[in-house]
Amino acid sequence: MSAVAASARIHPMAVVEDGAVIGENVEIGAFAHVGAKVNLRDGVKLLNHAVVTGRTVVGEGTVIHPMAVIGGQPQAIRHDGSETTLDIGARCTIREGVTINTGSSDGGGRTVVGDDNLFLANSHVAHDCILGSEIILSNNVMLAGHVRIEDKAILGGGCAVHQFTRIGRQAFIGGLSAVSYDVIPYGMLNGNPGILSGLNVVGMTRAGIERADIHTVRRAYKQIFESEGNVRANAAAIREDYLACPQALEIIDFIAAANDRAISSPNRGK
């Protein structure tokens, strides 16, 4: 039997399979479908025709709109069919037609989404992606498998992100961009192929970063990307000069982190 809180409001034409866990004040609309291994935490709202399936946890206060399919099987050729998971944080808004898949058997088996994220219509999060919090995926954004996105990044409509790519905190990806390589924190990337076009100064200002720190980050950016030589070597060479600037250090450490993918730059792709 399902564990359904007494305060939950479930439309008589919704389907809640036996075994589902339904928290306090959950609302489930007509023709919505909740699978047997789903856990809807307190205050979750499933609007009409929303589907949550698989071994999926949906955090408190998250709202899922019509025709979204959350917790579907990974679209991965090598997935062996074993049970994998999807964890979605609190207060996310998941709009019409969004798809978020569970992890894959050969990729860690777990897709993770943080808190306070906004997924606009028809955006897609593939298997084994790890997303932070306060991220915006605009309409028709496509994330391939194993993508990692840090807090407060914004992805413009229709952009596509290659598998295993990292996108740093508070990066901004322009609409219709092709993200083939890692994007540094606070970076701005546009175009197909995607080219790093500077820093997200507007976002940094709105986040309360001091003007002096923004200028320091700009100086580090120029040393990394406009100096001769390898980007990783340039970043490593200046690290000790920026220990007092957390934002610059974050970019440098992001570049230094072990990863098989190259770093997006103002020249790569031209």
Angle (nearest 5°) at CA 30 between 28 and 22: 20
Which candidate in 109, 145, 168, 174 is catalytic?
145
> In whole angstroms, what is the distance from residue 26 CA to residue 47 CA?
11
- 170: Cβ contacts below 8 Å, ≥ 6 apart: 150, 151, 152, 153, 185, 186, 200, 203, 204, 207
162 catalytic? Reply is no
Q: Does 80 participate in catalysis according to the annotation? A: no
DSSP state of 107: T
- Among 65, 79, 124, 127, the active-site one is 127
Please confirm, yes or no, whether 145 is among the known catalytic residues.
Answer: yes
**Tokens 């489930």 label which residue?**
28
Rounded to 5°, the CA angle 249-250-254 comes to: 115
44: nearest Cα among 87, 80, 8:
8
Task: Find the catalytic residue in 79, 128, 168, 182.
Answer: 128
Q: Among all residues, which ones are annotated catalytic?
A: 127-128, 145
